């Protein structure tokens, strides 16, 4: 019996909610942003990237989101459609709100930073009225990005979608995905993150993001990851993945098994985009009915492949490509089962 009981007969594998934005990545890299002359435009936003990733892996994907009513909104919808993502539930912002933008500074392979345009971003204009109970009920999995909780009415759209998912047995994956925009206080972050976490089957976040969720100090290392996982699992979650950047990540499951996940060795092009690739392949593994270690192996492989390329969405791989990558790196052991209390 699987850890997560997925309703197999449903027409759609995954529905995602959250931001779809535009990434402007510098063509002249390894310099600060004010020295850049030209940028390449890609579809972006963590859940947008994951939608593309999961779709490229061959799954049926739908998205509930809001884009601008301008050429950039056209771009996002066209890109989604070209990937085979269902856009029937995508809406347009009604009051001239623009797409969120992310200008990426790639100062060196290891140092990236971003300059975001998120004032009145179109994605945050999604309303609870835009959320179809039937559509949520038709999906096996709902993925909610924590950034969508950062402001109303997108916040309420997500809370309502999660309520519908719980009612209809749609599994919820909460990708904490913290961005320091539009939140009013650390307390506010914790309130909404912990509400969503409390409704989720799978929780994925960095240790920093888990600290935010639990209203712990920013760099708290205590309580240990396994104790936090205990809390979530006691509360009903089945899988808890806590990431620690370059040091790898830890995965805890409701059958009381724990795994350490390391990175494959690749030449880094940029230090972002890996998380979305990781999430996409992990969800793919869950949908395939794989055991957790195998899903994690594909996740970390996919992450390695994407950070070695210029974009996030465009660089998403097929299942065959990931499999080939893993075969090529067969000598690297990246997944290790560990004791529950063992730290990274």
Nearer to a copy of itself, 22 or 335 (CB): 22
Residues 23-62 that bind a copy of itself (CB under 8 A): 24, 27, 32-34, 36-41
Contact yes or no for 177/203 (Cβ under 8 A): no
Does 318 sit near a copy of itself (CB under 8 A)? no
In angstroms, the CA 179 to CA 333 distance is 32
Residues 162-181 that bind a copy of itself (CB under 8 A): 163
DSSP single-letter state for residue 246: G
Q: How many residues bind a copy of itself (CB under 8 A)?
A: 43
Does 309 sit near a copy of itself (CB under 8 A)? no
Among 101, 142, 303, 334, binds a copy of itself (CB under 8 A): 101
Contact yes or no for 110/268 (Cβ under 8 A): yes
**Measuring CA to CA, how many Å separate 159 from each of 84, 120, 125, 155, 211?**
27, 20, 14, 6, 21
Does 6 sit near a copy of itself (CB under 8 A)? no
From 283, 300, 135, select the one nearest 202 (Cα to Cα). Answer: 283
DSSP single-letter state for residue 289: T
Q: Tell me if residue 9 falls in helix, strand or coil.
A: coil
User: What is the side-by-side order of every strand in the sheet holding 101-108?
Assistant: 21-26, 101-108, 111-117
Among 6, 10, 109, 128, binds a copy of itself (CB under 8 A): 128
Q: Which residues are paired to 114 by β-bridges?
A: 104
Does 117 sit near a copy of itself (CB under 8 A)? yes
Which residue shows structure tokens 């539009």?
182
Does 70 sit near a copy of itself (CB under 8 A)? yes
We find the least distance from the C-beta atom of residue 119 to a copy of itself, in angstroms, to be 5
Binding to a copy of itself by CB under 8 A, coded x per residue (else -) over 222-261, reads ----------------------------------------
We find the least distance from the C-beta atom of residue 196 to a copy of itself, in angstroms, to be 11
What's the alpha-carbon Rg for the chain, to the nearest Å? Answer: 19
In angstroms, the CA 277 to CA 305 distance is 8
Nearer to a copy of itself, 8 or 38 (CB): 38
Nearer to a copy of itself, 54 or 90 (CB): 90
DSSP string, 121-171: -GGGG--GGG--HHHHHTEEEEEEEGGGGSSTTHHHHHHHHHHHHHHHT-E
Among 3, 89, 109, 188, binds a copy of itself (CB under 8 A): 188
Among 8, 9, 88, 187, binds a copy of itself (CB under 8 A): 187
Does 323 sit near a copy of itself (CB under 8 A)? no
In angstroms, the CA 158 to CA 178 distance is 15
Nearer to a copy of itself, 156 or 230 (CB): 156
Nearer to a copy of itself, 152 or 336 (CB): 152
Contact yes or no for 38/28 (Cβ under 8 A): yes
Does 195 sit near a copy of itself (CB under 8 A)? yes
Contact yes or no for 104/26 (Cβ under 8 A): yes
Among 105, 175, 177, 209, binds a copy of itself (CB under 8 A): 105
Among 2, 5, 74, 227, binds a copy of itself (CB under 8 A): 74
Nearer to a copy of itself, 188 or 332 (CB): 188
Report the interface residues with a copy of itself, using CB under 8 A.
Answer: 24, 27, 32-34, 36-41, 70-72, 74-75, 78, 97-98, 101, 103, 105, 115, 117, 119-120, 127-129, 152-153, 156, 159-160, 163, 184-185, 187-188, 190-191, 194-195
């Amino acid at each position: 019996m699987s850890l997560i009981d997925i309703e197999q007969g449903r027409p759609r594998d995954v529905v995602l909610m959250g931001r779809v934005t535009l990434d402007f990545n510098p063509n002249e890299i390894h310099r600060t942003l004010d020295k850049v002359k030209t940028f390449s435009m890609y579809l972006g936003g963590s859940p947008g990237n994951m939608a593309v990733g999961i779709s490229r892996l061959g799954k049926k994907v739908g998205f509930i989101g809001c884009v601008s009513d301008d050429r950039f909104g056209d771009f996002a919808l066209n890109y989604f459609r070209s990937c085979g993502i269902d856009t029937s539930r995508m809406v347009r912002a009604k009051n001239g709100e623009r797409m969120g933008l992310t200008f990426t500074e790639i100062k060196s392979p290891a140092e990236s930073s971003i300059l975001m345009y998120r004032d009145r971003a179109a994605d945050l204009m999604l309303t609870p009225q835009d959320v179809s109970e039937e559509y949520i009920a038709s999906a096996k999995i709902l993925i909610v990005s924590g950034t969508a909780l950062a402001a109303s009415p997108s916040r309420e759209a997500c809370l309502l979608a999660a309520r519908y998912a719980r009612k209809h047995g749609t599994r919820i994956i909460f990708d904490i995905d913290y961005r320091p925009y539009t939140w009013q206080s650390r307390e506010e972050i914790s309130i909404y993150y912990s509400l969503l976490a409390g409704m989720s089957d799978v929780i994925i976040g960095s240790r920093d993001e888990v600290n935010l969720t639990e209203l712990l100090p920013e760099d708290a290392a205590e309580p240990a990851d396994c104790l936090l996982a205990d809390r979530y699992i006691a509360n009903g979650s089945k899988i808890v993945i806590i990431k620690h950047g370059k040091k790898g990540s830890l995965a805890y499951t409701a059958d009381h098994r724990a795994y350490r996940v390391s990175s494959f060795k690749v030449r880094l092009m940029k230090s972002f985009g890996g998380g979305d690739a990781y999430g996409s392949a992990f969800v793919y593994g869950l949908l395939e009915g794989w055991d957790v270690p195998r899903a994690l192996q594909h996740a970390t492989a996919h992450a390695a492949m994407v950070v070695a390329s210029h974009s996030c969405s465009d660089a998403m791989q097929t299942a065959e490509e990931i499999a080939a990558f893993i075969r090529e790196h067969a000598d690297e052991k990246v997944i290790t089962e560990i004791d529950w209390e063992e730290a990274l």
